[in-house]
Amino acid sequence: MLDLDKRSIMYLPGVGPKKAEILQKEAGISSYEDLLFYFPYKYVDRSRFYKVAEVTGEMPYIQLKGRILYFDTVGEGRTRRLIGKFTDGTGTIDLVWFKGIAYVTDKIKPGVDYIVFGKPTEFGHIYNIAHPEVDPVEQAEQVANGLTPFYNTSEKMKKSFLNSRAIQNLQYTLLSGLNWALPETLPPAILQRIRMMPLAEAIKNIHFPESVDKLRNAQLRLKFDELFFIQLHILRMASVRRLKLKGIVFPSVGQYFNTFYKEYLPFELTNAQKRVVREIRADMGSGRQMNRLLQGDVGSGKTLVALLAMLLAVDNHCQACMMAPTEILANQHYATVMGFLKDMDIRVALLTGSTKKKERNKILPAIASGEIQLVIGTHALIEETVVFSSLGLAIIDEQHRFGVEQRSRLWMKNAIVPHVLVMTATPIPRTLAMTLYGDLDVSVIDELPPGRKPIQTLHRYDNKKAQLYDFLNKEIRQGRQVYVVYPLIEGSEKLDYKNLEEGFETFKEVFPEYKVCMVHGKMKAADKEAEMQKFVSGEAQILMATTVIEVGVNVPNASVMVIESAERFGLSQLHQLRGRVGRGAEQSYCILVSSYKLSNETRKRLEIMVNSNNGFEIAEADLRLRGHGDLEGTRQSGEGVELKIASLAADGQILQYARDIAQDILNEDPELLSEPNRVLNERLKTLFARKVNWGMIS
């Protein structure tokens, strides 16, 4: 065993303690292995030599072959620079150095042939290359054979002579100077099955590609490797949990479920809802503990599915609870559930932070005795004073607002871990879901209840406010209500609140005959409730708010959503906000108001919103536009997915393939104990020993 992960980078010739520290801090490279897995971010083709006569200012990196005619030092103080007049017989170009002048004139001699590499720019009709790489032609073989790798380096690294070229040299030292072969991470049978390059060859070619073809194959193998081991890790954790964690068995569909389904359900379930209910029933009857993620676009009817699942628990003599991220939402869920259940004989309680002490004192013992069968609430549910008699099912709504820790506290509420259903309306791209929630079973409601008119989305510039007001006036006169939302961005809160308050004043002036109300996060909970209530009851026609209304609020009569400074919202957030309207039978509108000056990316974002109503499509587009690192949801939970080479946006097929293979392996050998699978086990240990506990992300 070579234990490349245990050999300190400090001992690699050319590194030493000082550079080792910088490599560690700036690039996370502490071992030989870390260095080998520090991949180039791009390659420049150095197989071709350009002629000076061909040079233009728009070229990327190029290389020239020729000699320096003479050196000249110009400028004073900070503008002092060394210029080398360079020619290849077709013209001249200036090579310019601002630093290290003595070093350059010492090493590079006029009249000698060199290979020069750098990016040309035009300055006062003269082309020049600043700080070019200059190598003797004898070294052409080594420096100029085809694709040259470029590595990310920080300012600090560059200052310590660890620029891209230096990293390349270190890779060279490591790969050629030492006498070993890189051990394979996959068992022979798997390698044969996937028909990819062996790891050693891939690593060599990722740093020093022998050809474009070999580079592609190396990238494929390394992307596969990266995604495969993440999937293998997640799936193994999940399968071990399945083997070890017994679930409460809910064998029967009983009175509660059937009575509700046959007599109380006001409409037919959509096919998607039916399918998801079947999936949940199968899980809860299996004897395994359910861990299911329910994804469904806003308005797809998740609450009803949740209620049906809770009734199944009650049918099997268990309690169920549903936890929402805000009080407004918990209240609303409670009202919805009570509305559905009407006079059914079932005890439901609401428990939130503002539940009065007297009320609490009645509720808590009734939960402990099992008298109360369903509990709906907020974080208040996971306080220690809340003890269940037998909690069989815990439902968490709008999952991304809860941390992993809070969720696991819910699990601990029972001797046997309850079934867990996590609901989210934030559509997550498939690849990200597989990676972040890869250990959860996923159900998707991909169908809206019938009779909904698709929301019409319009993009308007904020210098055309009068037209907007006319439009709103027309809608309100027909009895509709209007949301107006302002952004609230970290760091600019003061300004954002000012915008909201000014907007509030303006709207009151523009619409004197209507009632306008306002909510934002800085208000006291009770005031917020009161303002919100004015809108819910229909007393106010216009609700102006920061993004506090983003999640879950249901006012079917509200048919217009105006989003101010829409350019400052992310796509998923815009989609969430838009989901607040379109819940009634009327034609609904979402109006994105932005300034006239927009970056290309922002313009694209708003265009996507105008053109698509499909949350999954939007999430995928978001992923393509921004890359996964920035996705809402990953950032909020604080557990981003850091990938070195694969991309969740571009490599969905490789990911699926890697996951399938990982699953096949685990089906045969769930704990990876067979002799050929030992390398897999070893690799998982190296990769995940000091990293996030992926299996606990649920």
Residues 71-100 that bind Mg ion (CB under 5 A): none
| Smallest distance, ligand ADP to C-beta of residue 432, A | 20
Toward ligand ADP, which CB reaches closer, 435 or 443?
Answer: 443
| Smallest distance, Mg ion to C-beta of residue 318, A | 23
Q: Tell me, residue by residue from 503 to 542, as one string, x for binding to Mg ion by CB under 5 A and - for no binding.
A: ----------------------------------------
Asked if 330 touches ligand ADP (CB under 6 A), the answer is: no
| Smallest distance, ligand ADP to C-beta of residue 342, A | 14
* Nearest residue to 333 (alpha-carbon basis) of 395, 388, 277: 395
Asked if 304 touches ligand ADP (CB under 6 A), the answer is: yes
* Nearest residue to 441 (alpha-carbon basis) of 242, 275, 292: 292
Cβ-closest position to ligand ADP: 301
CA angle 380, 382, 384 (to 5 degrees): 100
Segment lying near Mg ion (by CB under 5 A), choices 339-347, 495-503, 550-558, 623-631: 550-558
Toward ligand ADP, which CB reaches closer, 196 or 324?
Answer: 324
| Side-chain half-sphere exposure of 554, counting CA atoms within 13 A | 17
CA atoms of 495 and 680, how far apart (whole Å): 53
Toward ligand ADP, which CB reaches closer, 339 or 491?
Answer: 339
Q: How many residues bind ligand ADP (CB under 6 A)?
A: 16
Q: Which does 118 bind (CB under 5 to 8 A by kind): ligand ADP, Mg ion, none?
A: none
Binder of ligand ADP out of 221, 302, 407, 628 (CB under 6 A): 302
Asked if 579 touches Mg ion (CB under 5 A), the answer is: no
Residue 343 Cα distances to 310, 338, 347, 363, 480, angstroms = 17, 9, 10, 20, 31
Binder of Mg ion out of 552, 582, 633, 652 (CB under 5 A): 552
Per-residue tokens: 282: 């199968």
Q: How many residues bind Mg ion (CB under 5 A)?
A: 1
- How does DSSP assign 329-398, residue by residue? HHHHHHHHHHHHHTT-S--EEEE-TTS-HHHHHHHHHHHHHT---EEEESGGGGSTT---S-EEEEEEES
Toward Mg ion, which CB reaches closer, 206 or 311?
Answer: 311
Toward ligand ADP, which CB reaches closer, 171 or 424?
Answer: 424
For the stretch 321-339, what's the b/e string if a residue is b when 16 or more beta carbons lie within 10 angstroms of its beta carbon?
A: bbbbbbbbbbbbbbebbee
Q: Which does 573 bind (CB under 5 to 8 A by kind): ligand ADP, Mg ion, none?
A: none
Residues 555-594 that bind ligand ADP (CB under 6 A): 583
Segment lying near Mg ion (by CB under 5 A), choices 47-55, 264-272, 545-553, 687-695: 545-553
CA atoms of 501 and 656, how far apart (whole Å): 49
Q: Which does 299 bind (CB under 5 to 8 A by kind): Mg ion, ligand ADP, none?
A: ligand ADP
Proportion of the chain in helix, strand, coil states, percent, rounded to 5: 45, 20, 35
Alpha-carbon torsion angle 469, 582, 572, 637, nearest 10: 120
Binder of ligand ADP out of 422, 425, 519, 646 (CB under 6 A): 425
CA atoms of 565 and 592, how far apart (whole Å): 8
Asked if 300 touches ligand ADP (CB under 6 A), the answer is: yes
Toward ligand ADP, which CB reaches closer, 33 or 297?
Answer: 297
CA atoms of 9 and 173, how far apart (whole Å): 12
- The amino acid occupying position 123 is F
Q: Which does 435 bind (CB under 5 to 8 A by kind): ligand ADP, Mg ion, none?
A: none
Toward ligand ADP, which CB reaches closer, 120 or 301?
Answer: 301
| Smallest distance, Mg ion to C-beta of residue 335, A | 13
Segment lying near ligand ADP (by CB under 6 A), choices 60-68, 239-247, 263-271, 570-578: 263-271
Q: What are phi and psi of 296, to 5 degrees?
A: -160, 135
Sign of CA dihedral 518, 519, 523, 528: positive
Residue 51 Cα distances to 67, 97, 108, 552, angstroms = 13, 21, 21, 64
Toward Mg ion, which CB reaches closer, 397 or 475?
Answer: 397
* Nearest residue to 625 (alpha-carbon basis) of 605, 642, 643: 605
Q: In the 8-state DSSP scheme, what is residue 176?
A: I
Toward ligand ADP, which CB reaches closer, 247 or 427?
Answer: 427
Segment lying near ligand ADP (by CB under 6 A), choices 298-306, 435-443, 527-535, 642-650: 298-306
CA atoms of 172 and 183, how far apart (whole Å): 18
Beta pairing class for 391-397 and 419-424 = parallel
For 625, counting Cβ atoms within 10 Å of its Cβ (0-12 exposed, 13-18 middle, 19+ buried), the class is middle
Alpha carbon distance, N-terminus to C-terminus of the chain = 35
Q: Which does 237 bind (CB under 5 to 8 A by kind): Mg ion, ligand ADP, none?
A: none
Q: Which does 148 bind (CB under 5 to 8 A by kind): Mg ion, ligand ADP, none?
A: none
* Nearest residue to 446 (alpha-carbon basis) of 433, 461, 427: 427
Asked if 455 touches ligand ADP (CB under 6 A), the answer is: no
Neighbours of 448 (CB within 10 A): 18
Binder of ligand ADP out of 63, 273, 319, 546 (CB under 6 A): 273
| 217 within 8 A of 197, measured Cβ to Cβ | yes
| Smallest distance, ligand ADP to C-beta of residue 431, A | 23
Asked if 301 touches ligand ADP (CB under 6 A), the answer is: yes
| 133 within 8 A of 164, measured Cβ to Cβ | no
Q: Which does 289 bind (CB under 5 to 8 A by kind): ligand ADP, Mg ion, none?
A: none
| Smallest distance, ligand ADP to C-beta of residue 418, A | 21
| Smallest distance, ligand ADP to C-beta of residue 231, A | 29
Neighbours of 19 (CB within 10 A): 19
Toward Mg ion, which CB reaches closer, 438 or 633?
Answer: 633
Segment lying near ligand ADP (by CB under 6 A), choices 23-31, 141-149, 292-300, 458-466: 292-300
Toward Mg ion, which CB reaches closer, 302 or 480?
Answer: 302
Asked if 449 touches ligand ADP (CB under 6 A), the answer is: yes
Toward ligand ADP, which CB reaches closer, 187 or 301?
Answer: 301
Asked if 392 touches ligand ADP (CB under 6 A), the answer is: no
Binder of ligand ADP out of 40, 84, 120, 299 (CB under 6 A): 299
CA atoms of 579 and 591, how far apart (whole Å): 12
Segment lying near ligand ADP (by CB under 6 A), choices 106-114, 291-299, 347-355, 642-650: 291-299
Segment lying near ligand ADP (by CB under 6 A), choices 296-304, 353-361, 588-596, 631-639: 296-304
Cβ-closest position to Mg ion: 552
Asked if 267 touches ligand ADP (CB under 6 A), the answer is: yes
Asked if 299 touches Mg ion (CB under 5 A), the answer is: no
Residue 249 Cα distances to 51, 243, 368, 590, 643, angstroms = 77, 15, 21, 45, 39
Neighbours of 139 (CB within 10 A): 11
Binding site for ligand ADP (CB under 6 A): 267, 269-270, 273, 296, 298-304, 425, 449, 554, 583
Residues in contact with Mg ion by the rule CB under 5 A? 552
